[in-house]
Amino acid sequence: MIKIKGIYTGVLLIALFTACKKNPVTPVVETPEVSAVVPEDPNYQTVAASIEISPVLEGAKFVWVNASKKAVTLKFKYTIDGINKETLVDNNVAANGTVTIPIFELTNFSIAISNTGGKVLTTRLMGVLPVQKPEAKLAKTGWTATASSEINNPDEELNGAMNIVDAVDLKSITNPSAPSFWQSDYNLDPIYPYPHWLIVDLKQAIKITKVGLNAHNDGNQGFTQFKLEGSVDGIGFTNIGGGTDKTFNPKITTEQLFAVSPATAIRYVKITLLLGSPYPCLGNFEAYARQ
């Protein structure tokens, strides 16, 4: 040990070493909180798997089983006449659920089923053709008809357009031996060329399913090709005959039926004659609907 001016260096060095030495610090490790795992309730899936669809009169009937009676929400989306619609069955707890949705034609449904809070969702696709009412011939009360031209002069012949919406067996005033009929005006020179047209006003909008046409009893004064159009306002017309021209037999005097498929209910029916005799006639017009 060395003595320096009365101070023992060994003691000094020990003191200095002790003063400079740092106490060890234990590191802090943060432990994240572990949330309890809540298993997803699969009840909505069980309900979704149980859904069945069946046709009823002008409707689709849905049934499902919810044995646990835990709340589920069912949302049915579909389209009618080009309009998107939705039916909601909210927080349903019935053990045996059911809902009937009015439809009138083949309809496809997108069905969404969710559990409480709507956090879980499953979707099913279903389609059905409803039971439909039988087709019936509509009463022609109040109906009117107009045409591109007509023979309707007491001094000549009374074969105006209105004759096609009277009773099918009503006799012609001009020729009582034949049923009444419409005929285009053939007195002009040159004669009216094709196309000719007739428009029937049903007086109310209705979704018709077919039309019936009767030829005049003279098969040489008929047309052979025509198209069918419909309108809600009598101004804008769209094809209701499947997009194709129709064939008509002027030699057959019994009713000839033509299916139509208007997208919506229509009030006016337009018959445009495209080919046939220079003197086209039409004996009668009928319309049918499911009522």
DSSP assignments along 22-49, one per residue: PPP-PPP------PPP-PPPTHHHHHHH
Give the integer Cα–Cα distance in Å for 260 and 214.
17
The pLDDT of residue 203: 98
Q: Is the pLDDT of residue 118 over 70?
A: no
> How would you label 190-214 residue by residue, b for 16+ Cβ within 10 Å and e otherwise?
eebebebbbbbbbeebbbbbbbbbb
More confident residue, 152 or 282: 282
* 256 and 168 assigned to the same domain: yes
Query: Closest Cα partner for 133 from 22, 213, 58, 26?
Result: 58
In a domain, 186, yes or no: yes
Q: Is the pLDDT of residue 198 over 70?
A: yes
Question: To the nearest whole percent, how much of the chain has pLDDT over 70?
Answer: 85
Domain boundary at 75, 109, 128, which?
128
Domain boundary at 128, 160, 181, which?
128
- Reported as a pLDDT band with limits 50, 70 and 90, residue 32 is low
C-alpha distances out from residue 193 to 151, 187, 197, 249, 280, Å: 15, 12, 11, 20, 10
Q: Is the pLDDT of residue 31 over 60?
A: no
Contact 170, 290 (CB under 8 A): no
Stated pTM of the model: 0.72
Q: For tokens 């029937």, what's the residue? A: 200
**Once rounded to an integer, what is the mean pLDDT over residues 111-118?**
82
- In sequence order, the 6+-apart residues with CB closer than 8 A to the CB of 277 are 220, 221, 222, 223, 250
Contact 275, 224 (CB under 8 A): yes
Output the CA torsion sign for 157, 219, 225, 195: negative
Q: How many CA atoms lie within 13 A of 200 on its CB side?
A: 29
Residue 62 is classified by DSSP as E
- Reported as a pLDDT band with limits 50, 70 and 90, residue 19 is very low
- For 123, list phi and psi in degrees, rounded to 5: -125, 140
Contact 138, 202 (CB under 8 A): yes
* 246 and 169 assigned to the same domain: yes
**Once rounded to an integer, what is the mean pLDDT over residues 150-154?**
85
* 96 and 191 assigned to the same domain: no
Give the integer Cα–Cα distance in Å for 121 and 78.
18
Average pLDDT over the chain, rounded to an integer: 86
* Residues linked to residue 69 through DSSP beta bridges, in sequence order: none
* 147 and 224 assigned to the same domain: yes
**Once rounded to an integer, what is the mean pLDDT over residues 206-210?**
95
Residue 259 is classified by DSSP as E
In a domain, 263, yes or no: yes
Q: For tokens 């003595």, what's the residue? A: 3
**Once rounded to an integer, what is the mean pLDDT over residues 75-92?**
93
- Reported as a pLDDT band with limits 50, 70 and 90, residue 3 is very low
**Once rounded to an integer, what is the mean pLDDT over residues 85-107?**
94
Give the integer Cα–Cα distance in Å for 268 and 229.
8
Q: What share of the chain is helix, strand, coil (3-state, %, to 5)?
A: 10, 45, 45
Write out the residue range of the structural domain in which residue 233 sits.
Answer: 136-290
Q: Is the pLDDT of residue 12 over 60?
A: no
Q: Is the pLDDT of residue 259 over 80?
A: yes
The lowest-confidence range among 114-123, 190-199, 256-265 is 114-123
Q: Is the pLDDT of residue 55 over 50?
A: yes
**Once rounded to an integer, what is the mean pLDDT over residues 68-85?**
92
In a domain, 87, yes or no: yes
More confident residue, 262 or 246: 246
Contact 179, 167 (CB under 8 A): no
Identify the CATH number of the domain in which residue 111 sits. 2.60.40.10
**Once rounded to an integer, what is the mean pLDDT over residues 116-132?**
83
In a domain, 22, yes or no: no
More confident residue, 10 or 206: 206
The pLDDT of residue 166: 96
